[in-house]
Structures are given as structure tokens and as C-alpha cells.
């Protein structure tokens, strides 16, 4: 196997693909968003329970899960994402996504975000960047949406 391919399919990724974390619908969710990748057919739904803060600070993700189907990269990335954003606010998630996006597009990973760095190998496979970012896009969408609009599953396909 080539170095690029071993880089792409890191142990962390294989592990999350095989044993996805936080997978399935979240009965307590008050936010849902769906992402899909029309060219590949990959799909990902993200379910959140956002907990409003009492002190006027932004709401935090109290619980999160995902559901969907797709390649190992998309499923592992969504799984890892759920473990990384739990407890965070929308601006914090967006900042983290920016780091993640830099990692998958440049291959350079800062030391402090160790697990996400597993996705650095994606940059050698530009067609797969969409796979790696699918779950993140869905999570960011879910954070943006009005709660009353997204408590039901909004996708129709």
C-alpha cells in the first residue's frame, strides 16, 4: 500500500468507521440537519440537543449524534466530529471546523488538535475532501437553524 493511502486510512479513521461513536438518532434532539453529497450519494444527519445558557452566553451542545451512510472517510469524520464538538458553542464549533478544514486541505496539522490530525492524509485525495467535511457541514447547519424548524427531520430524500 502506498504511503498516501496509509496516510488516508489512519488507524483512528478505521476505528471510527468500524465502531462509530454517537451513532443513531437522538430522541432528545432539538436540532437536526441533513447533509448530502449528491455526486457520491453520501448522507449524514446530525442531531443536537442545544442547552440554552442562563447567563446570556451562547448555548452549548449538550448531546449530539449522527446517522447516515457513506465511505469510511465520511463516516469516521462524522463520528470523530461528534466527540470533538460536544459541550461547545456554535462559534467554538466553527473555529474548530476552520482548523479541520485547514488540515484536510493543506495536510498541515497543529499539534494541539491531535485526533483531527488523523485526517491530514485527505489532502492528497482532493476528491475526498467533501467526504471528510460532510458531517461538519451538517453540524454547523444544525447549529444555525431555528429550533422549531429543525426538530423534525427536514430532509425529504
What are the grid coordinates assigned to 25, written together? 438518532
The answer to whether 69 touches 42, Cβ cutoff 8 Å, is yes
Matching residue, cell 468507521: 17
Q: Which CB sits closer to another protein, 75 or 150?
A: 75
Near another protein in 109-128, by CB under 8 A: 125, 128
Q: Is 18 in the site for another protein (CB under 8 A)?
A: yes
Q: Is 3 in the site for another protein (CB under 8 A)?
A: no
Q: Is 70 in the site for another protein (CB under 8 A)?
A: yes
Q: Is 95 in the site for another protein (CB under 8 A)?
A: no
Matching residue, cell 491530514: 120
Q: Which CB sits closer to another protein, 18 or 98?
A: 18
The answer to whether 12 touches 74, Cβ cutoff 8 Å, is no
- Catalogue the E-assigned strands of the chain: 31-37, 42-51, 60-69
Q: Is 101 in the site for another protein (CB under 8 A)?
A: no
Contact pick of 12, 62, 71, 145 for another protein (by CB under 8 A)? 71
What are the grid coordinates assigned to 139, written together? 453540524
Amino acid at each position: 500500500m502506498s504511503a498516501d493511502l496509509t496516510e488516508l486510512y489512519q488507524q483512528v479513521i478505521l476505528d471510527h468507521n468500524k465502531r462509530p461513536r454517537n451513532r443513531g438518532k437522538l430522541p432528545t434532539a432539538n436540532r437536526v440537519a441533513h447533509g448530502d453529497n449528491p455526486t457520491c450519494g453520501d448522507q449524514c444527519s446530525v442531531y443536537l440537543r442545544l442547552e440554552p445558557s442562563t447567563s446570556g452566553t451562547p448555548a452549548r451542545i449538550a448531546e449530539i449524534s449522527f446517522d447516515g451512510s457513506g465511505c469510511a472517510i465520511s463516516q469516521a469524520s462524522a463520528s470523530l466530529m461528534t466527540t470533538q464538538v460536544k459541550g461547545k458553542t456554535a462559534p467554538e464549533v466553527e473555529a474548530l471546523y476552520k482548523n479541520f478544514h485547514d488540515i484536510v486541505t493543506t495536510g498541515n496539522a497543529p499539534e494541539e488538535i491531535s485526533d483531527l490530525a488523523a485526517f491530514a492524509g485527505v489532502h492528497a485525495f482532493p476528491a475526498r475532501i467533501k467526504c471528510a467535511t460532510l458531517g461538519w457541514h451538517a453540524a454547523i447547519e444544525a447549529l444555525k437553524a431555528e429550533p422549531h424548524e429543525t426538530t423534525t427531520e427536514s430532509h425529504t430524500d
